[in-house]
Structure 1
Amino acid sequence: MSVYDPAEGPLVRFHGVRKSYGTMEVLKGIDLQVRRGEVVALIGRSGSGKSTALRCVNGLEGINAGELEVCGRSLHVPGVDLRDLRQDVGIVFQSYNLFPHLTVEQNVMLAPRKVHRIGSDEARALAAEVLSQVGLAEKAQVYPEQLSGGQQQRVAIARSLAMRPRLMLFDEVTSALDPELTGEVLRVIERLAAGGMTMMLVTHEMAFASSVADQIVFMHQGRIWEAGDRNLLADPQTPELKQFVGSGL
């Protein structure tokens, strides 16, 4: 389990954050903090706002009101450098988004070479390191189409790790995988958590959330309905969370 220093300021701070798409408000005043080394799991039904909240952290969605601070940057202030932000914040999606014409190694090397301007030898060594982290060192020279879905998702995680982020975001990264492949991806995330990586993840894997998260946040109708430690799901306090847990979603 990751450990963080309570005296240190949060790496992510939502304060009264609101987000709308036209007349539809999807985040209705979110207050949430994530400290260094903490793992936060966002759960809730589809449309509850959890993925939108995650995408706001990486600047993929702008907020309409409130304050959002991420890795020392104020995302609610006009003109924030999103390219700079994304060097500190990695994100992995349900879809792998690997380049099919590049090998696994080349996929992982691409961003560090382009963004950090490191040499090919250093980038290759970095790729070997992060691929080893996700258990795919032996797949460096193969192409994405030769990998299973779980392996491709692990390459996507390695690609984000190669940027040396301070914060990792996972947006339902196992929802397109069968149970066996889901397990191999979740084990990678567990190892990252054990290593102290700060993470926010949107997941439908309730047992996994209870085992790995320091904080579980249940979102409902654009609000944080309940939040607590890993015991939250064992003792829900609201009818909405009781129904959600009971439905097995």
Structure 2
Amino acid sequence: MNISAIQSAPATNGIAPVVAMRQVHKSFGPLKVLDGVSFEVARGEVTVLIGRSGSGKSTALRCIDRFESIDGGEIEVCGRRVDDAGLDLRALRLDVGIVFQSYNLFPHLTIEENITLAPHAVKGVPKAEARALAAKVLAQVGLEEKLHAYPEQLSGGQQQRAAIARSLAMQPKVMLFDEVTSALDPELTGEVLKVIEALAADGMTMVMVTHEMGFARGIADQVVFMHKGKVHEAGPADILSLPSTPELAQFVGTGL
């Protein structure tokens, strides 16, 4: 498979991609983590980043939302150059929601308060409207009855779904998920993955880092296999069943 051709391919139908990484480089001291990474994500598309630990996939995700700065290359998200020193970071964060492995819910606030905080404080949404929005997004993730519960009263899977609802309340144009199920047992993992499947069915643009290969096969429009800081192989979900390189074949064969 000609990866360079995939990386340089323009967005289809002349429509600008929602996310574009172009020859992105990133190092932490002497450690090269991203070595010329390029891929694009079209509107409504689900792109899944896979690879062994240390391959650079989570760093790539964090660079999209500028949690990490880059050393070279370009990143464009929702029409904004993320690598631009003059970037309006607040505007970027309004367009991009990100959910991490850790739920990061405020323990002293109810689930409703966790969700309404940012829409009210950041976007100026009136409190009554923010509460209605919280009820709506909690229903979307199957937690409408947990509106007044505190995080400690929820299971891990419920807390992760609440974290997704909190991001959805900001009405982002793209959602990023970084190993959101890695701390959960299989039953709770299923709860969270069903929510993400529903978001995909509704047309949400998503970029995900996951080790759930079965889930990736079912949901991904594009799979990007990262290996030693590079995009080693990329294409539709079929590449997981018919890998073109021994590295991807070994990765999916071992389920790492």
TM-score band w.r.t. shorter chain: over 0.9
1:5–1:120 Cα change, 3 Å: farther
1:134–1:50 Cα change, 3 Å: same
**1:144-179, CA deviations, whole angstroms, 9 ceiling, x for partnerless residues?**
000000000000000000000000000000000000
Superposed, 1:7-156 pairs within 5 Å as 7-156=14-163
For 2:237, what is the secondary structure of its paired residue? Answer: coil
CA distance in 1, matches of 2:128, 2:83: 39
Aligned position for 1:164: 171
Aligned position for 2:219: 212
Task: Calculate the aligned-residue CA RMSD, in Å.
Answer: 1.0
Mean Cα displacement is larger for which, 73-82 or 236-245? 73-82
For 1:151, what is the secondary structure of its paired residue? Answer: helix
Aligned position for 1:239: 246
Superposed, 1:182-193 pairs within 5 Å as 182-193=189-200
CA distance in 2, matches of 1:41, 1:55: 14
**TM-score, normalised via structure 1 length:** 0.97
Give the unaligned 5+ runs of structure 2: 1-10
**1:199-224, CA deviations, whole angstroms, 9 ceiling, x for partnerless residues?**
00000000000100100000000000
**1:20-49, CA deviations, whole angstroms, 9 ceiling, x for partnerless residues?**
111111000011100110000000000000
Moved over 4 A (4+): none
* Structure 1 contact 174–185 (Cα < 8 Å) conserved: yes
- Please report how far the alpha carbon of residue 7 of structure 1 lies from its aligned counterpart in structure 2 after TM superposition: 3.6
**1:36-80, CA deviations, whole angstroms, 9 ceiling, x for partnerless residues?**
100000000000000000000001001100111111111122121
Mean Cα displacement is larger for which, 67-76 or 186-195? 67-76
The share of aligned pairs that are identical, in percent, is: 65
CA distance in 1, matches of 2:149, 2:208: 28
Give the unaligned 5+ runs of structure 1: none
For 1:190, what is the secondary structure of its paired residue? Answer: helix
For 1:61, what is the secondary structure of its paired residue? Answer: coil
Aligned position for 2:187: 180
**TM-score, normalised via structure 2 length:** 0.95
